[in-house]
Amino acid sequence: MSAPARHTCSRAGCRAPATSAIEWRNPRIHAGDRVKVWLACDEHVAVLRDFLAARAFPLEVKALGAPADPVR
């Protein structure tokens, strides 16, 4: 039996386990059905969310493993 996959934070240089998924898209270049996902640890979820929000990208923060909702 193998160990479950460990997801790590998307923040550059961070190797901490991810606890949240940030679903986002850039409406200037992505169609409405194209969603990107960044994973974040507890320490970096606000940093990554704020980076995307400052660019006015539609985003949704979910607990890792939570069902996905459409990104607005």
Q: How much is the pLDDT for 48?
A: 97
DSSP label of 64: T
pLDDT tens across 5-52, in order?
579 999 999 999 999 999 999 999 988 889 999 999 999 999 999 999
Q: How far apart are CA 34 and CA 45, in angstroms?
A: 21
pLDDT band at 63; cut points 50, 70, 90 = very high
Rg of the chain over all Cα atoms, to the nearest angstrom = 13
Q: How much is the pLDDT for 64?
A: 87
Q: How much is the pLDDT for 68?
A: 53
